[in-house]
Structure formats: C-alpha cells, structure tokens
Amino acid sequence: MSWSWIGPFIAIVGLAVITIVSRSFFMIPERELPMPDWLKRGLKYAPLAALAAVIAPEILMTQGEFIDTFMDARLPAVVCASAYYFWRRGILGTIVVGMAVYLPLHIGWGW
C-alpha cells in the first residue's frame, strides 16, 4: 500500500478549513464590526469596478490584443445597448438591443 494519498488529502482538508473559516469570518463575531466611512464609500463602487474589469477586455480586445478596426460587431452593439440603457434604464432591454445589433453584424456580415 502506498502513502502517496496523504499529501493530496492534507491539501484538500487544509483548503476546506481555509474556505470554511474565510466564509464564516463575518458570522463569528457576536456584534457588528465597525467599518470606517472611507471603506463604506469605497465598497459602494466595488461591483461597478468588478463589472468594468470583466466587460472592458471583452469589448476592447481580441485574443489578447486591442482591436484595430471599427469593423467589429461589438463596438456598435455596445454603443446601441448603452444608449438604450441611458434612455430606458432597463437591463433586459439593454441585453436585447445589444444582441439585436451584434448578431446580424457578426453572423450576417462577418464582422
């Protein structure tokens, strides 16, 4: 019998413990932890920053490089979807408008 399973077993147990402790960290204290005002203000912008960090490369880059032509279906789709959002403030309509512009340009014209 081999003892080669001990290393992976210890790693799995250790990662499980770290996950449980880190996820329950905010539930362990009996009272609410005070947060400074500057941190509360900063956390209001965290979801927007995360969304921008995920979406911006998808819009502006192809295979790790910036797009170098305006004949990319994503650019008009983003412009139209953004205009719709600022006009109506609806998420579903924004997605529908963006895809309604993107798909014909991408599939139909090959942009």
Give pLDDT tens digits for 43-80.
899 888 998 899 899 888 988 889 888 889 999 999 99
Q: pLDDT category, 110, cuts 50, 70, 90?
A: confident
* Longest distance between any two alpha carbons in the chain, whole Å: 69
CA distance 51 to 63: 20
- Residue 22 sits at φ, ψ, to 5 deg, of -70, -35
Token reading at 40: 């509360």
pLDDT of 97 above 90? yes
Closest CA to 58 of 18, 91, 98, 97: 98
Query: Residue 24: what pLDDT?
Result: 85
Give pLDDT tens digits for 14-52.
999 999 988 887 777 778 778 899 999 988 998 889 988
Token reading at 61: 């880059």
CA 53 to chain centre: 7
Query: Residue 25: what pLDDT?
Result: 79
Query: Residue 30: what pLDDT?
Result: 79
pTM (whole model) above 0.75: no
